[in-house]
Structure 1
Amino acid sequence: MKSQFLLDPNITFLNHGSFGACPKPIFEEFQRFQLELESDPVYFIQQKQPKYLKTARENLAGFVGCQAKDLFFTANPTFAINVIMRNIKLNEGDEILSTNHEYGAMDRTWNFYCKKSGAKYIRQEISLPIVSKEQIIEEFWKGYNSNTKVVFLNQMSSATALIFPVKEICEKARTLGLITIIDGAHVPGHLELDITELNPDYYTGTLHKWMLAPKGSSFLYVKPELQNDLEPLVVSWGYESVAPGESQFLDYHELQGTRDVSAFLCTPKVVEFLEKNNWKEVSGTCKQVVLENYQRFCDLLNTKPICPITTEFLGQMASVPVTTEKPAALKELLYSKYKIQVPIMPLNGNFYIRYSINGYNTQADLNTLYHALEDIINTTDLISR
């Protein structure tokens, strides 16, 4: 499988979770669209691009479980959350209930909004180690009060790689009349996803991570009854269009002037590649490798698991606690000396070695990481035990 990817064979690549990795057939499709664009930019953008985008949305919608008319492509989830943030109308003292496990760019987005609006962003503590799904739910709702108006939650956290019970939280939030916004950056192509069944108000996810699309391909789903009130983050030709398309929602958010949307247009090829290569089975094998190695790394680093070692909480990546006072130096040494690309993730004053496993990885890759950490423990002061 590794031969189908463009990854440097001299690097042990254990960081798919950050920016993904694109297989050659999909990357070739990406370049094909770029060449087609440049061969006749006017005809491509004015005539072909709208049809290609519609086909791409239809393919994506079938994959993530919603209607094609209810989502549009974005470059990344940060853009998507900014669209929502610019449209949420909260009053001073209103609260956005979140967790202390959210992605840093999301925290910054909501902090920016709160400074402007007077609302409050509540990073409710979800304590580690996790012992059960019920614990997460109970701790999360301790942050709720009469001022809570919005629930914002990652379905899978970046730093701790933990799967959160968003379905149960969305269900309760609906009974309380709260707006639900789910950051599913790590979910499509990684975990089972049916947006219609999950039923959030807003959902964003990436294609360029676990769906293996080219970089800069993500989406925002918006519940139909909220679409007409969602103003565009970028005002362009779709606003008060002289040639309206199938919906104001898509006109507002798809038409943003001249830009290269080739990454979006690869979606049919992305879905085809995943299906052709039985990626659900590949993903299942990868998840098993993650589970089988987790305790082994905890033992090496003399730390404890942050959750039960099951697929209820872990997918194709896992974060192992590491005691270090020099996380940047540790990451740099792993890369420069041992040629291992793996992140040291910071969160709430703690650090985690987060390894990702995808179809191009083998047990040998994790053995390489294990032996490198052994060597670092024995020869440096970067890791405390």
Structure 2
Amino acid sequence: MSSNLARHFLLRDDVVFLNHGSFGACPRPVFETYQAWQLELERQPVAFLGRDLSERTKVPRVALSAFLGTTSENLVGLVNATEGLNIVAQSLDLKEGDEILTTDHEYSALEKTWAYVARRTGARIVTVKVPMPLVSEAAFTNTLVEAMNERTKVLFLSHITSPTALRFPIERPITEARKRGIWTVIDGAHTPGHIPLNLDAMGVDFYSGNCHKWLMTPKGSAFLYVRPELQGLINPLVISHGWTADSKLPDAKGAFGNSPFIDELEMQGTRDPAAWLSVPAAIKFREDHDWTRVAADCRELAQETARRLQALTGLEPLSSPEFSAPQMVAMPVPEFEPAEFSKELMARYAIEIPVFKWQDHHIVRVSVQGYNSKAQMDILIGALTDMLDLQGKKELARQHG
């Protein structure tokens, strides 16, 4: 891995930052672009927000759509993936008895979103248990397909899961759902910039992802993709200047010259669009630094770190490598109290890393990005060795009174 990449980031050098997956980290050149946009906004806010915004926001839509395998008419910029998925969930015409099919690995904020929708509409959430460890695409797909029936209206899946850092093989479930007339809604919060995407080829109905994580844009930039023939179903959470009452047809021009799908979601009144406008700079930063190679190095280091910890604990991994997120691995460790364990890792070793309990597993989730190094992974393994040894001694002391 290139040793000089860390100098391009703004992270504190007194913290071993192994948690890119939570909120990302923005490279300095991209952050400077973000600040330049903010400054331009403040210099002439009326022109920026009142006259020029629609044309400005088209530029990142064009750049990002090419990066994601679609066209600029099929996606719109938002603040985060949770917003995008809320827009979809609250737009779909669900009723009592309809079923929303999902898994037991979903992000808690979206579990709450669908619970809210179910309470409001009378729809029912059906949660399937993914066969663990995840080592078979067929087992994953069959589990979902077997749960589909005539009442299933929505298939909601993460592409890369947050708690377990798994890369779900979602392609065949999407195809099967489409055959049955089931809407497919995909949480891609961890996906853009992490794995290649071709949204049109995937055949997904609705897909929302964050740019501020693995694409490394500033915080507050995300997108919602909607297949053209379904864009008329989408309603904004907030009715504002972009709302077009007279037409919801995909090819109609809205109040700001785009389709109603784009105008109604983009033109939400006064806000700071600088993070979204910085998307092209983030894509260029990746190109300038050969991020395909960087990501491959990160993937190798992440898997190596997971193997080292497995050798230490003897615990089975949550998946085979092909179903692990390339640069993010959820590593099982012996039982611990998550809040205390996290506090000790920061206090003793200055390591920023998420630790938590998921079902019966206690997990340390490591992210590896271009600014990380083998030396940092050595610090992590050393710290976990010490911490787990200390945990063992405490347990022996408790057992012996």
TM, length-normalised to structure 1: 0.96
Check conservation: 2:54, 2:256, Cα contact below 8 A.
no
Q: 1:78 aligns with which of 59, 76, 82?
A: 82
Note the 1:68-217 alignment, pairs <5 A. 68-217=72-221
Q: SS state of the match for residue 260, structure 1?
A: coil
Question: Take 2:380 and 2:336, find their aligned partners in 1: how far apart are those partners?
Answer: 20
Question: Take 2:87 and 2:347, find their aligned partners in 1: how far apart are those partners?
Answer: 39
Q: SS state of the match for residue 96, structure 1?
A: strand
Shift of 1:138: 1.6
Deviations 1:168-227 (A, max 9, x none): 111111111110001111111110100011111100111000000001110000111111
Q: 1:357 aligns with which of 368, 372, 375?
A: 368
Question: Take 2:362 and 2:93, find their aligned partners in 1: how far apart are those partners?
Answer: 36
Partner in structure 1 of residue 235 of structure 2: 231
Q: SS state of the match for residue 364, structure 1?
A: helix
Shift in alpha-carbon separation, 1:140–1:37, aligned structure 2, 3 A: same
Deviations 1:219-261 (A, max 9, x none): 0001111112311111001113894412111111110000001
Q: SS state of the match for residue 207, structure 2?
A: strand
Q: SS state of the match for residue 320, structure 1?
A: strand
Question: Take 1:312 and 1:113, find their aligned partners in 2: how far apart are those partners?
Answer: 30
Which residue type is aligned with residue 194 of structure 1?
N
Deviations 1:333-377 (A, max 9, x none): 111211000101332242210000010011111110110011112
**Matching of residue 330 in structure 1 with residue 341 in structure 2:** yes
Shift in alpha-carbon separation, 1:379–1:346, aligned structure 2, 3 A: closer
Shift in alpha-carbon separation, 1:87–1:69, aligned structure 2, 3 A: same
Which residue type is aligned with residue 379 of structure 1?
L
Deviations 1:44-67 (A, max 9, x none): 112332221001100010111111
Question: Take 1:118 and 1:147, find their aligned partners in 2: how far apart are those partners?
Answer: 13
Partner in structure 2 of residue 348 of structure 1: 359
Partner in structure 2 of residue 294 of structure 1: 306
Which residue type is aligned with residue 264 of structure 2?
Y
**Matching of residue 318 in structure 1 with residue 322 in structure 2:** no
Question: Take 1:345 and 1:267, find their aligned partners in 2: how far apart are those partners?
Answer: 32
Shift in alpha-carbon separation, 1:196–1:202, aligned structure 2, 3 A: same
Question: Take 1:243 and 1:59, find their aligned partners in 2: how far apart are those partners?
Answer: 23
Question: Take 2:137 and 2:13, find their aligned partners in 1: how far apart are those partners?
Answer: 39
Unmatched 5+ residue regions in structure 1?
none
Which residue type is aligned with residue 341 of structure 2?
L
**Matching of residue 20 in structure 1 with residue 24 in structure 2:** yes
Deviations 1:64-121 (A, max 9, x none): 1111011111111111111011111112111010100111111010011111111111
TM-align CA RMSD? 1.6
Question: Take 2:306 and 2:394, find their aligned partners in 1: how far apart are those partners?
Answer: 18
Q: 2:66 aligns with which of 40, 62, 67?
A: 62
Identity among equivalent pairs (%): 38
Question: Take 2:86 and 2:118, find their aligned partners in 1: how far apart are those partners?
Answer: 13
Check conservation: 1:287, 1:311, Cα contact below 8 A.
no
Check conservation: 1:326, 1:382, Cα contact below 8 A.
no
Q: SS state of the match for residue 127, structure 2?
A: strand
Matched residues, number: 384
Shift of 1:145: 2.2
Question: Take 1:312 and 1:174, find their aligned partners in 2: how far apart are those partners?
Answer: 23
Question: Take 1:139 and 1:252, find their aligned partners in 2: how far apart are those partners?
Answer: 37
Shift of 1:293: 2.2
Q: SS state of the match for residue 52, structure 2?
A: helix
Shift in alpha-carbon separation, 1:127–1:39, aligned structure 2, 3 A: same
Question: Take 1:384 and 1:237, find their aligned partners in 2: how far apart are those partners?
Answer: 61
Shift of 1:379: 2.7
Partner in structure 2 of residue 251 of structure 1: 263
Shift of 1:301: 2.5
Partner in structure 1 of residue 292 of structure 2: 280
Question: Take 2:157 and 2:306, find their aligned partners in 1: how far apart are those partners?
Answer: 25
Which residue type is aligned with residue 149 of structure 2?
N
Deviations 1:293-325 (A, max 9, x none): 2121112223111111x2443310101112224
Question: Take 1:187 and 1:239, find their aligned partners in 2: how far apart are those partners?
Answer: 30
Question: Take 2:165 and 2:218, find their aligned partners in 1: how far apart are those partners?
Answer: 22
Q: SS state of the match for residue 208, structure 2?
A: strand
Question: Take 2:391 and 2:104, find their aligned partners in 1: how far apart are those partners?
Answer: 32
Q: SS state of the match for residue 142, structure 1?
A: helix
**Matching of residue 9 in structure 1 with residue 20 in structure 2:** no
Check conservation: 1:14, 1:340, Cα contact below 8 A.
yes
Partner in structure 1 of residue 57 of structure 2: 53
